[in-house]
Structure 1
Amino acid sequence: MSRGDREQRRIYIQIPLEPTCPPALAPGPPTLKICHENAGGCNGSKAWWYNNFSPTAYNTLFNPSSSQAREFIPNQLPTRSVPLLSDRHIDYTPLEQLLAQQDFQAADRITLQKMCELAGPDAVQRKWLYFTEVENFPIADLQTINTLWLLHSQGKFGFSVQREIWLSTGKNWDKFWLKIGWKTGNTWTRYPNEFTWDLSAPRGHIPLSNQLRGVRVIAALLNHPAWSSTPSGG
């Protein structure tokens, strides 16, 4: 093996999915090629994974079907190469774990908990948010939360998905509630039993935002500059 080959050594995990590495690094049959992070990875950057790793592939990494993959993946890719970035030292591992288990109801609860932690001790105590607190959330943290939801829902759930749907309605809240399944006709969906906590839910169905105090909190979320900024990390 030449020195160049050693420096560019890659570990391949073959999964029957579309290639997610750039074409130059993923020749051959249509299988997912996971490049060893310590050997430079794809383009030598964690940011490439953050921006391009497919939700289906990421979920497969967290829930491998074969015993060989279950043994290999945690040792070789312990963090799955997606950085859990936080500008306020929030630990998003519990959210990552619940989403990996597809426990969307518990993940929704901990999403609110983590956002209250972001807002500070007063919000943690009251267990809900002021829109002014949401406006001051760090971009990195909201992008971390959103990316985890995207990756573990095959791109179906997350704040950025909700924003896309909201914009598609012309920012019409009544149309938005109907599209994401928070209302049926004039009747609000009742928490928790009337919400759908799996991938059969409408696109953008979760995470939830409490509407008892109006739309200002979710409006602050959907208007946040996080959705017009490039994810960092890498």
Structure 2
Amino acid sequence: MSNVSADSPTATPRDSDQTSKLAEQLLSQTLKRQLNAATELASMGESGIAVLINFLKHTANGEVSVAAGKTCQLLSTSESVAAQTFLAEAFPNGIVPVSSDCGVDYQPLQGLLIAQEFEAADRITLQKLCELAGPAAMQRKWVYFTEVDSFPAKDLLTIDQLWRVYSEDRFGFSKQRELWLSLNQNWDRLWEKLAWKSGNIWTRYPGEFVWDVSAPVGHLPLSNQLRGVRMMEFLLSHPAWTP
């Protein structure tokens, strides 16, 4: 039925029954159930770690999933030697294949997101956008809205996938775009929904932003949030997001 095994030489029958149930839950079609199962398995010692390793072995060969991203994060923070050995051998750089049409290195961003260092990941995301925009943007450390159209779709999709996979599918440009479209492209309502603004008061950077997955959907990355509407409009309207 499944390649995700709950077998462990030290597991009691009760432990095996529980890990088997969680192993099946890990294959659920419901993301919330998958994430809950992964988190619980990570707390169950080596028997749970074995299930997570098997899950990553058998699911990460195809399309990279959010559940696989969560599993990678949990294994990376585990004290299990088996977990660390597996990641070092199978996924030393994370589970998302990073690619760029401009030769931009997105591996540092992946490392920060795996570690859930979201504030640092946000800063490096802006740095990578500046690299895409060219030397002038890198020097000024922000992006003009007129530079966004030149961004390769592959690069924006890479950045977006990294954010989505390692944030339980809560963060990313495409999540912000979904919200924007659902609000009929109303910017004032979007800022409120993203918790970038409350009433007439803009959220203060960095202390008032939420740097973990308890933040509202779409809260991160901030990109060029302080540059205003035009930058976001061009970013969320980029051809990368349309088939």
Q: TM-score range by the shorter chain?
A: 0.7 to 0.9
CA 211–110 in structure 1, closer or farther in 2 if over 3 Å, else same: closer
Distance in 1 (alpha carbons) for counterparts of 2:168 and 2:202? 26
Distance in 2 (alpha carbons) for counterparts of 1:36 and 1:168? 32
Partner letter of residue 107 of structure 1?
A
Aligned to 2:27: 19
**Correspondence 1:79-158 to 2 at 5 A:** 79-158=93-172
Aligned to 1:56: 67
Aligned to 2:223: 209
Distance in 2 (alpha carbons) for counterparts of 1:96 and 1:79? 8
Aligned to 1:34: 57
Aligned to 1:189: 203
RCO greater where, 1 or 2, for CA within 8 Å and sep 6 or more? 1
Question: Are positions 1:221 and 2:221 aligned together?
Answer: no
- Contact preservation (8 Å) 1:36, 1:76: no
- Contact preservation (8 Å) 1:178, 1:185: yes
Q: How many residues align?
A: 200
Deviations 1:201-221 (A, max 9, x none): 111001003344431111111
Q: Which ranges in structure 2 are unaligned for 5 or more consecutive residues?
A: 7-21, 30-50
TM-score scaled to structure 2, two decimals?
0.75
Distance in 1 (alpha carbons) for counterparts of 2:111 and 2:71? 14
Q: Which ranges in structure 1 are unaligned for 5 or more consecutive residues?
A: 1-10, 22-28, 42-47, 230-234
Q: CA RMSD in A?
A: 2.6
CA 194–81 in structure 1, closer or farther in 2 if over 3 Å, else same: closer
Partner letter of residue 201 of structure 1?
A
| Aligned residues with identical type, % of pairs | 51
Distance in 1 (alpha carbons) for counterparts of 2:227 and 2:121? 22
